Chains A and B, each alone.
Chain A
Amino acid sequence: MGKIGKSAKDVLKNKVLLFMVLPGTLWFLFFSYLPMVGTVIAFKEYRFSRDGFWASIINSKWVGWDNFKFLFSTNDAYLITRNTLLYNIAFIVLGLILSVLLAVVLSEIANKKLAKLYQTGMFLPYFLSWVVVGYFAFSFLSSERGLLNAMFGSNISWYSESKYWPFIIIFVFLWKAVGYNSVVYLAAIMGIDKSLYEAAMIDGASKFQQIRGITLPMLKPIITIMTLLAIGKIFYADFGLFYQVPRDSGTLYSVTNVIDTYVYRGLKTTGEIGMSTAAGLYQSVVGFVLVLTSNYIVRKFDKDSALF
């Protein structure tokens, strides 16, 4: 009883703060925690029941690990895992370097109005859907009417030459994502105490020395957190990027097929919900383990930067 009374007092004391986290909490509850109950479908052969969703789950037959088999049963299993991992590693590393670089450059632009303009310009692609981005790319890469072939007088059939696509995919991803991420870092830079820079200037530190000695170390915690969060998603691939941008071209599959597109293509005819749930669960569990591991490693070296 005393405990509850104390909790109630705590609530009262922090009511404003609690109220502020309420929308976020609800969002997580509804869209992350509640659906977790559904992972049980991964171990069932899902069949419809006329008494609704819960009855369907309960009445469906248990099948153990059968639903997971299709992910590992063929030679493609290696290919899609490799593609998913390598692309995500490239996205994390290059995305980090470019976003931080951009944020630093933006923060150093003296004309604040221009800086805002550049920032908005780079931010915009983030809001485009992949379908639209796919058409942008097509206007450059179409072999008949594409800008690239017209500019260089080449006759490359872009959508059937897989060797170019690792670069195209990474480029398109960075073009879309870097602007958004750099805003996060820019905000962190803005929060750095200006007196540090003033002191450095009095000591005669050059711009470059200031960046290396002040900006980057101050950004380290947020860089670590952003990277840890990205690692959690390392087994997920952006479906739109890998499906819409290469226009689902079969000849490119060796470099564009990732876990998400594989699952979609494999299950679109049979529509087995159990198997797609199994794929999702597998991705989440691997991501979860990776986050725990990398967080553990970070904590070994630098306790303050770790997520938890």
Chain B
Amino acid sequence: MSKKKKHFSLLLTTLLTVSLALSACGGDSKNNAGGEAASGGNKAAESTEKPVELIWYTIGPPQKDMDKVLTEVNKYTLEKINATLDIKMLDFGDYTQKMQVMAASGEPMDILFTSSWAFDYVQNARKGAFLQLDDLLKNQGKGIVDTIDPAFLEGSKVDGHNYAIPANKELPAQEVFRFNKELLDKYKLDLTSVKTMADLEPLLKTIKENEPGVTPYAMVKDFMPIMPFDYVIEKMPMAVYMDTKDYKVINILETPEIKEALKTVRKFYQAGYISPEVATTSSVDDLYKAGKWFTDRASTQPMADNLWSVSYGYPVVSTPASQPYIYNWSVMGSMQAISANSEYPEKAMEFLNLLNTDPVLRNMIDSGIEGVHYEKISDNMIKNLPDAKNYDMPTFSLGNIMINYLNEGDPENKWEEFKKFNDAGINAPLLGFNFDTSKVTNEIAAVQNVKEEFWAPLMTGSVDSEEYLTKANEKLKAAGLDKIIAEAQSQIDAWKAANNK
């Protein structure tokens, strides 16, 4: 390439870059202007106000009939709050990563799903991804405050402020052992004595000896035995004891409780009750589909046995494995936030308010169009039509579930049971405390890597726990776990003092 050509290509490059940068800026300023005009319009008379379109990103597989349902939904919302919706679905596996990129790059959006397990609520609230909602809740969101269990709004505050609207649903998390009832009946096994994991042994033994094709304990790599801890960060080794008085943060891998629990898991693994490949198994859906499992553990909600039985096509029963505790992560299990860059925050809150209080809208977004996706069999009970498979939204993610229609076969008092379940919940010690990781991000990255290396093999009993616990603790220390624990302790102490715990 000659020198001149080089000059020329440089010129071309510069020109292109500049024009690109300009067009990007141009786009921005236009959007801003639109935003101002719209918020200015709010003050004008309602009748002359131009309807706004709210962009809503939420979790779940994209739905075939989304456009059809949206047309109906928009007719309704236009009349009620003078706004229309554009719902964009991102599938469960993609949601966190895609939203991280979209939020970081300033993609236009108004409402978005967030939770403790997908697009982490606390972290992103601190990074500034969401709008602070305290005032909006007071003005446009009164209905929400009146309707949902106050524990949700209280428990989901970050540094004293609300950044998202939690779905009104089950508040505590309770673990149960589930059983494939067909096998239970076949061998006349008794559940009354099953209280802990160790109690399962005689049952598992029977199944192992008599049912060669069945995996006695269906387990995935995320498994953790039930232990009496409340974690500072979920699935990281820093925690306090459930019955703590002094809120001392400990490394759970150094406690006698974990040694005891892992002994049981290891025994099960060696006896062949668990798949030898459990440490790399991320899903056992195939076992559920084929009914080739005997027991496992899951978190429950009222009437969950019915739900599971319907979804698997054979009876499933369960028995409690833990107390119903209200954790930070269970309170933040499903929330809708307003994006920091939303052009119409007031409208977005008006919509969320309607979604959480208006059964017509809530059910339309949840179940689709009457006569197409479902039919009513009584005032508040519906039955799915064949087309329901084209519009099958994850109910829990969309807001207040207690104004939903009942499904065929649900007991009349379903939502009463939910309320009872919520009232029975016991507050976990760290409920309301949110760890600010910004001072220890380097240590967390390093500890995370060590944790990933040892966690699954240890928790699933795939390796000898004595040997690996020692190794893991050495590496965790080297990676800076003590510094994280010290930081967590000082934050917890300050929080404790401020809240008179």
Contact = CB atoms under 8 A, between A and B. Distances in A.
Interface of A: 3, 6-7, 10-11, 14, 25, 29, 33-34, 45-56, 66, 69-70, 73-76, 142-144, 157, 159-160, 247-251, 253, 257, 262, 265-273, 275
Contacts of A251: 279, 453, 457, 462-463
A262 B4 contact: no
Contacts of B123: 269-271
A54 B20 CA distance: 13
B125 to A, nearest CB: 10
A143 B277 contact: yes
Contacts of B147: none
B456 A250 contact: yes
Contacts of B479: 74, 76
A159 B17 contact: no
Nearest to B31: A52
B445 A48 contact: no
B276 interface: yes
Contacts of B4: 3, 6-7, 10
B144 to A, nearest CB: 22
Contacts of B12: 25
Nearest to B126: A47
A34 B17 CA distance: 7
Nearest to A72: B442
Interface in B440-475: 441-446, 448-450, 452-457, 462-463, 475
Interface stretch (B99-107, B161-169, B292-300): B99-107
7 contacts: A29-B13, A29-B16, A33-B17, A160-B279, A250-B456, A250-B457, A253-B452
Contacts of B279: 159-160, 249-251
Contact of A56 (B106, B455, B478): B106
Contact of B106 (A52, A160, A247): A52
A48 B452 contact: no
Contacts of A250: 279, 452-457
| In the A-B complex, the 6 residue pairs with the closest CB atoms | A266-B445, A52-B106, A247-B280, A48-B128, A70-B442, A70-B445
Contacts of B438: 45
Given A7-B7, A48-B127, A271-B100, A53 B17 contact: no
B233 interface: yes
A14 B9 CA distance: 13
B449 A159 contact: no
Interface in B1-20: 4-5, 7-9, 11-13, 16-17, 20
Contacts of B65: none
Nearest to B455: A250
B120 interface: yes
A269 B453 contact: no
A54 B478 contact: no
A87 B192 CA distance: 55
B73 interface: no
A275 B277 contact: no
B437 interface: yes
A11 B8 contact: yes
Contacts of B443: 73
Contacts of B437: 270
Contact of B446 (A10, A70, A143): A70
B127 A47 contact: yes
Contacts of B32: 51
B480 interface: yes
Contacts of A257: 449, 453
B485 interface: no
Given A250-B456, A266-B449, A53 B106 contact: yes
A106 B455 CA distance: 48
B20 A34 contact: yes
Contact of A253 (B280, B444, B453, B478): B453
Given A47-B128, A51-B28, A250-B453, A10 B5 contact: yes
A76 B449 contact: yes
B448 A265 contact: yes
B340 A50 contact: yes
B129 A48 contact: yes
Nearest to A14: B5
A297 to B, nearest CB: 23
A159 B120 contact: no
Given A47-B127, A250-B452, A265-B448, A159 B8 contact: no
A3 B4 CA distance: 9
Nearest to B343: A50
Nearest to B438: A45
Contacts of A48: 103-104, 106, 127-129, 340-341
Contacts of A49: 106, 128, 340
Nearest to A30: B20
A246 B438 CA distance: 32
A18 B396 CA distance: 56
Interface string B269-301: 000000111011000000000000000000000
A266 B446 contact: yes
A269 B106 contact: no
B24 interface: yes
Contacts of A75: 475, 478
A157 B449 CA distance: 23
Count chain A CB atoms within 10 A of each CB in B120, B340, B449, B452 and give the residue with the most: B449
A48 B450 CA distance: 29
Contacts of B445: 70, 266-267, 270, 275
A160 B462 CA distance: 9
B441 A275 contact: yes
Nearest to B20: A34
A157 B129 CA distance: 44
Contacts of B446: 70, 73-74, 76, 266
Given A50-B340, A160-B279, A266-B448, A272 B233 contact: no
B457 A160 contact: yes
A266 B479 CA distance: 11
A29 B233 contact: no
Contacts of A6: 4
Contact of B441 (A50, A52, A70, A262): A70
Contacts of A53: 104-106
A7 B8 contact: yes
A73 B442 contact: yes
Contacts of B449: 74, 76, 253, 257, 262, 265-266
Given A52-B28, A70-B441, A70-B445, A269 B120 contact: yes
Contacts of A157: 276
Contacts of B444: 266, 269-270
